[in-house]
Amino acid sequence: MLTVREGAFPAHDRSLAADVPAAASVHRTPSLDPHWFYARLAGRSDDEVDVGSVEGQQETGMERVARWIRANLFLPDARVGWVPFSVWRGRQLVAEGDVDAILTTGPPHSTHLAGAALQALTGVPWVADFRDPWTDINYYDELPHTRWARRLDAALERTVLRQARAVTTVSPTWRDLLTGKTGRTAGEAITVVQNGFDVDDLSPGEAVPSTEAFEVTHVGSLYASRNPTGLWRALRRLRDEGVMPALRIRLVGTVDANVRDALRAQGLMDVTELIPYVPHDEAVAYMRRAGLLLLSIESFPQDEGMMTGKIYEYLAAGRPIVGVGPPGGDAAALLRKTEGGRLFGRDDVSGLAQYIRHHYEAWAADTPQRGASPEALDPYRRRAQTKRMGAVLSGVCSDE
């Protein structure tokens, strides 16, 4: 495994290092990281650097300049400074060991440039794994790209998609999106390998919700772009009707100021608990005690393909999910297939209120409804998805 040394990242959970098998060889290299330099210049800590959506955030003059530099001089992303180091070390590893294939995963999509270079330099077949789209990523239009930068970025994307021996992504919608950019034939179709969940972290089974309050829980970063205002309005309606006296909203992780403002506007801050970033095992405990788990998918042109890793962990936690986002998308289809919850349109206040009230009343009657069954989740275990990726890697090796 080839990765980067410590740098500026929005969150650090060192407990996850225990998930790396003892037999795995991990090689770390330095990187020229503008996020690190910017954090020092702005007097911020590494976990205060924005690397995703910046919607709704106020910009200082320095931040505006830094964002322009990132969008136009660091393509495809600000992690591109790792590429020369990874190529240098990657060539050494190929020369030293028995390397059958190269797998790069992004974002950051600059890792794919390293894969392309290593395939060209060593002849080892390379697979490019897209956890998110490249020029269609959810926050792409928030960045102040110039016309030439967009053209160069799109050219880099096409090069990666066409030169990689195989390409994988996380959803059928994004598979079709990327296929349209590759010129690949039917026999070279892009493979869907979903995120899945790790049974060592989250073994599916019965979870017991809190009896003290009906908890609507979100775990993870709740950016301004993911602010589920329709759901807040639904909860306000139910409180005004007096049907949810024991409501608690629990938000675990980073919560944007715009989200807090929206909760305040609906009179919900008195029943809201904000919990800073916690280690993964604590996050899982919060999931398992929820009355409903909140999933929010931001609006962007390719949102129907969004399949976050969170949705699989939510499903494995055994509690039902209430989602807001594209009702015709892949996430909604997964919830229907597993019977793990429902996803509503962002402004479907009536549908959200009815669904939440149904679950609240079942909880109040001491018969809380469960989420997806363990049997329905078997195909989404990480082991099953790893087998799919293994088949892709075996395929590119057999082509040699």
214-378 has the same fold as 2-195+382-398? yes
Q: By three-state DSSP, how is residue 371 classified? A: coil
The Cα–Cα gap between 262 and 230 comes to 10
CB 356 within 8 Å of CB 85: no
CB 319 within 8 Å of CB 291: yes
CB 318 within 8 Å of CB 288: yes
The Cα–Cα gap between 56 and 82 comes to 29
381 secondary structure, DSSP code? B
Report residue 262 as tokens. 């929206």
pLDDT given for residue 208 in this prediction: 84
The Cα–Cα gap between 359 and 198 comes to 27
Class for the domain spanning 2-195+382-398: alpha beta
Q: Residue 29 forms beta bridges with which residues?
A: 4
Q: Where are the beta strands (DSSP E) in the chain?
A: 2-4, 27-29, 102-106, 126-130, 166-169, 191-192, 214-219, 247-252, 272-275, 292-296, 321-324, 341-344
Query: Read out DSSP for 171-224?
Result: SHHHHHHHHHHHT--GGGPPEE----B-TTT---S-----SSSEEEEEES-B-G
Q: Where are the domains of the chain?
A: 2-195+382-398, 214-378
CATH fold, domain 214-378, is Rossmann fold (3.40.50)
Give pLDDT tens digits along the chain (400 positions): 898 886 655 555 565 566 667 777 888 998 887 655 555 544 554 454 455 555 555 566 777 877 888 888 889 998 899 999 999 999 999 999 889 999 999 999 999 999 999 999 999 999 999 999 999 999 999 889 999 999 999 999 999 999 999 999 999 999 999 999 987 665 567 999 999 888 877 766 567 899 999 999 999 999 999 999 999 999 999 999 999 999 999 999 999 999 999 999 999 999 999 999 898 889 999 999 999 999 999 999 999 999 988 999 999 999 999 999 999 999 999 999 999 999 999 999 999 999 999 999 999 999 999 999 889 999 999 889 999 999 999 999 986 5
pLDDT given for residue 398 in this prediction: 82
pLDDT given for residue 210 in this prediction: 92
Q: What is the number of other CB atoms lying within 10 angstroms of the CB of residue 188?
A: 13
Q: Report the DSSP pairing between strands 166-169 and 126-130.
A: parallel
